[in-house]
Amino acid sequence: MENERKKEHLENFLKSNFKSSNLLENVYIEHFALTDLNFDEIDTSVDFLGKKLSFPLLINAITGGAESSYDINEDLARLCKHFNIAFESGSQKVALQDEELVESFTVINDILDNKDVIISNLSALSSLEDAKRAVEMLKSDAISLHLNPAQEIVQFEGDRNFSGILKNIENIVKNLDVPVIIKETGCGISKKTCEKLLNIGVKYIDISGFGGTNFIEIENLRRTDLDFTNIYGWGIPTAKCIIDCRKVSNDFTLIGSGGLKTGEDVAKAIILGSDMTAIAGEVLRFLIHGGYKVAEDYLKSLIYQTKMTMLLLGVKNIKELKKVKYKTFGKLKDIL
């Protein structure tokens, strides 16, 4: 049942076509013609979860049902190994419920080892016990717990009761041996949500903002009884989430995600205040439509474009990129 739903998510993700924007295009950064850098010396490496990555990117949580999960996870792990970027598993709930599905997740451990960053994933409503089992299953460096009330409420069989969720997160943060990342799934983390999470000791937040994968649409495509077409536009654009949450504090790791596609998007997400970035939908699209090599070429271009953007801004590493000045205009400026 759960497994069937994940398969439909993947199919409906490919069918979804609602046009939206994460508003990164409303961020202006200025070209620097007198750049005096050597492209080959531009350093995109970052430290994340105690390990060194070559590029500040993680492939974000993606589930797809048992049949396709094995192959997708294997390919995503290979991509992470190839580029030395972080891997985040899709929700492991199905594997906690059905032993036979464990292998479609643990396939990643044949490719990634303890030098690589592996992140587990479950709902933020999960028990501490399940969080421990999910981390053990993949020998993960951290677990990310998703907040997805908009998705659940549109989902026919979804959760309706979110009471006690903050207490539950606090319990997991305090009692799990590895760091906990709290993430959205495409509707964004607001300033208020960020403050509440930091107050209970959360140190990692993936804002997963609006403007990319749209789970209200994906779930609506599975329903025939009620219709939610008119609320596909619900959510906080990624650019606003990053700016608002970074203003709350500098003392946590902010992962900028939601509709990131290009190297310029990655650079802008970092300039606005992200320490790391994440992509799910766009990598998945290239992988499913074109296969492993096409997804690899996509990430190769994305990394090249990010370095190119850095060269054209005159910054030689991620620390300097974070300090680049920017201006906002249009809708982003209006809603800030």
- Footprint of ligand FMN on this chain (CB under 6 A)? 9-10, 13, 60-64, 90-91, 121, 146, 183, 185-186, 208, 212-213, 257-260, 279-282, 284
Query: How many angstroms separate the first and last alpha carbons of the chain?
Result: 42
- In angstroms, the CA 240 to CA 332 distance is 7
E strands present in 197-248: 204-206
Say if residues 68 and 10 touch (Cβ distance below 8 Å): yes
Shortest distance (Å) from residue 73 CB to ligand FMN: 11
Distances, alpha carbon 103 to alpha carbons 64, 98, 110, 215, in Å: 14, 10, 11, 26
Shortest distance (Å) from residue 41 CB to ligand FMN: 30
- In angstroms, the CA 315 to CA 79 distance is 26
Shortest distance (Å) from residue 172 CB to ligand FMN: 15
DSSP string of 26-55, one letter each residue? GEE----TT----GGG-B--EEETTEEESS
Shortest distance (Å) from residue 145 CB to ligand FMN: 8
Q: Quick one: DSSP state of residue 89?
A: P
Shortest distance (Å) from residue 60 CB to ligand FMN: 4
